[in-house]
Structure 1
Amino acid sequence: MSTLLQKGRLRARQTTDLADVAAAQALRALAFGCDDADALDALCTHILVENIETGAILCCFRMLCLNGSTLSQSYSAQYYDLAALSLFEGLMVEMGRFCTHPEHGNDPDVLRMAWGAMTAYVDAQKVELLFGCSSFTGTEAAAYLDSFAMLSERHLAPKRWFPRVKAPDVFRFAAHGLRKPDLKRGMRAMPPLLRTYLMMGGWVSDHAVVDPQMNTLHVFTGVEIREIPAARKRLLRAVVG
Structure 2
Amino acid sequence: MPQLQTGRYRVRIATDACDLRAARQLRFRCFRAPALVSAWAGAEAEAGEDADPLDAHCRHMLVEHRESGRLAACFRWLPLGSGAEIGRSYSAQHYELSRLRDFPEPMIEVGRFCVDPAHSHPEILRLAWAALARQVDETGAGLLFGCSSFAGLDASGHARAFALLRDRHRAPPRWRPGIKAPEVCRFAALPAAADPASARAGLPPLLRSYLAMGGWVSDHAVLDRELRTMHVFTGVEVRLIPPARVRALRRLAG
Deviation at 1:86, TM superposition (A): 0.8
The residue that corresponds to 1:206 in the other structure is: 219
Say how many residue pairs are matched: 237
RMSD across aligned positions (CA): 1.5
| 1:46/1:31 CA distance change after superposition, 3 Å | same
* Separation (CA, whole Å) in 2 of partners of 1:48 and 1:80: 27
Deviation at 1:9, TM superposition (A): 4.5
Is the aligned partner of 1:57 residue 2:56? no
Q: Deviations over 1:74-120 (max 9, x none)?
A: 10000000000011000000000111111001x12222212211212
* Separation (CA, whole Å) in 2 of partners of 1:112 and 1:61: 13
The residue that corresponds to 1:32 in the other structure is: 31
Q: After superposing the two structures, state which structure 1 stretch, 181-190 or 205-214, moved more.
A: 181-190
The residue that corresponds to 1:94 in the other structure is: 109
Is the aligned partner of 1:233 residue 2:246? yes
Is the aligned partner of 1:179 residue 2:179? no
* Separation (CA, whole Å) in 2 of partners of 1:96 and 1:121: 14
Q: Is the 8 A contact 1:81 1:164 kept in 2?
A: yes
Q: Deviations over 1:143-166 (max 9, x none)?
A: 111111111111110111110000
* Separation (CA, whole Å) in 1 of partners of 2:136 and 2:73: 18
Alignment identity in percent? 51
Deviation at 1:36, TM superposition (A): 1.6
Name stretches of at least 5 consecutive residues in structure 1 with no aligned partner: none
Q: Is the 8 A contact 1:3 1:11 kept in 2?
A: no
Q: Deviations over 1:168-209 (max 9, x none)?
A: 000111xx3442342121111111111110001000001110
* Separation (CA, whole Å) in 1 of partners of 2:227 and 2:64: 25
Partner of 2:69: helix, strand, or coil? coil
* Separation (CA, whole Å) in 1 of partners of 2:86 and 2:3: 26
Is the aligned partner of 1:12 residue 2:11? yes
Q: Is the 8 A contact 1:4 1:117 kept in 2?
A: no
Is the aligned partner of 1:143 residue 2:171? no
Q: After superposing the two structures, state which structure 1 stretch, 15-24 or 187-196, moved more.
A: 15-24
* Separation (CA, whole Å) in 1 of partners of 2:86 and 2:16: 24
Give TM-score scaled by structure 2 length: 0.88
* Separation (CA, whole Å) in 2 of partners of 1:87 and 1:56: 41
Structure 1 letter corresponding to 2:95: Y
The residue that corresponds to 1:127 in the other structure is: 141
Q: After superposing the two structures, state which structure 1 stretch, 78-87 or 52-61, moved more.
A: 52-61
1:153-164 matched pairs, under 5 angstroms: 153-164=167-178
Q: Is the 8 A contact 1:24 1:60 kept in 2?
A: yes
Q: Is the 8 A contact 2:215 2:237 kept in 1?
A: yes
Partner of 1:196: helix, strand, or coil? helix
Structure 2 letter corresponding to 1:87: D
Partner of 2:141: helix, strand, or coil? coil
The residue that corresponds to 1:77 in the other structure is: 92
* Separation (CA, whole Å) in 2 of partners of 1:141 and 1:3: 42
* Separation (CA, whole Å) in 2 of partners of 1:16 and 1:130: 23
* Separation (CA, whole Å) in 1 of partners of 2:107 and 2:99: 14
Deviation at 1:62, TM superposition (A): 0.5
Partner of 1:103: helix, strand, or coil? helix
Give TM-score scaled by structure 1 length: 0.93
